[in-house]
Amino acid sequence: MYKMLDHRRSLLLKTMGIAQWQRRDGGSITESVPEEIIPTEIIPLEVIPVEAISEPPQPVKVEVPVQREAPRPHVEDSWQCIDYEVKQCTACDLHQTRTNTVLGVGNRQADWMIVGEAPGRDEDQQGEPFVGAAGLLLNQMLRAIGLKREQVYIANVLKCRPPNNRDPRPEEVTQCLGFLQRQLDQVQPKMILSVGRHSAQNLLKTEESVGRLRGAVHQFGDKKIPLIVTYHPSYLLRKPLEKRKAWADLQLAREIMNKARV
């Protein structure tokens, strides 16, 4: 910087015809313009930019706000609580006959949540929902609309097996439904696929049959989550001709989700 200013000053003095000069501060030094910079022709003077002679500007730190999705609050804590409470639960008689509680399985941040009725024998043995024959068909149904089992979250209305796979009793559902609600609150799915009568009737608080509830888009809870009702895989194993309707229900659910993405 200094070298450059000396050079410019010399040029300026030379252009004005001054070969020697004395410092204004009274200094005794008389300086000469070095020969090598005496111009042979007039060089147009440039305006020396202010920033060249003042303090160099300090870099200004600009805080760029980072946009992040709001984290889901205390997800792990809550899941741990739900899991613990379900395992400890003795709120109805089903705890006396269960082998394992069956909380749920899959992606806890899934867009899709599948809600069945209650664990059967295989599920009671393994502590995981839909692992028996009905589970295999459910997996196929999911695959038909491009979903892997691990991608969705699967749970039941009841967390313990009713003996001999009898229907859930109202008092059992009343005791257990809070756990499902807490799971739904944690997962916050964008689509609920309700399979079977007990799932549909308890989620939608209705006495209507699956036949009447299917084929429409329902809404669940305050957040109005789209909910599609279809036949339970166990029913479809007994009545394979109904698979055609179940296929249409799945297509409807897929369509809703595709539209929601646009």
* C-beta closer to ligand URA: residue 33 or 195: 195
The CA distance from 188 to 190, in Å, is: 7
* C-beta closer to ligand URA: residue 10 or 199: 199
* C-beta closer to ligand URA: residue 33 or 105: 105
The CA distance from 233 to 254, in Å, is: 18
Q: How far is the CB of 91 from ligand URA (least distance, A)?
A: 19
Q: How far is the CB of 123 from ligand URA (least distance, A)?
A: 4
Q: How far is the CB of 197 from ligand URA (least distance, A)?
A: 10
Residue whose token pair is 């309707």: 245
User: Could you tell me the sign of the dihedral formed by the alpha carbons of 132, 135, 136, 137, in that order?
Assistant: positive
Q: How far is the CB of 205 from ligand URA (least distance, A)?
A: 19
The CA distance from 258 to 200, in Å, is: 23
The CA distance from 7 to 27, in Å, is: 20
Bridge partners for 114 per DSSP: 154, 193
* C-beta closer to ligand URA: residue 130 or 220: 130
Q: How far is the CB of 155 from ligand URA (least distance, A)?
A: 8
Q: For residue 38, give both structure tokens.
A: 């005496």
Q: How far is the CB of 156 from ligand URA (least distance, A)?
A: 5
Specify the amino acid at residue 7: H
Q: How many residues does the chain have?
A: 262
* C-beta closer to ligand URA: residue 156 or 186: 156
Mark out the alpha helices in the chain (DSSP H runs).
Answer: 2-15, 50-53, 75-88, 94-97, 121-126, 133-144, 170-187, 197-204, 210-213, 233-238, 243-261
Q: Which helix (H) or strand (E) holds 20?
A: strand 20-22
At 56, is the secondary structure helix, strand, or coil?
Answer: coil
Question: Which residues are at the interface with ligand URA (CB under 6 A)?
Answer: 116-120, 123, 129-130, 134, 156, 196, 234
* C-beta closer to ligand URA: residue 24 or 166: 166
* C-beta closer to ligand URA: residue 33 or 180: 180
Q: How far is the CB of 67 from ligand URA (least distance, A)?
A: 39
Closest chain position to ligand URA (CB):
116
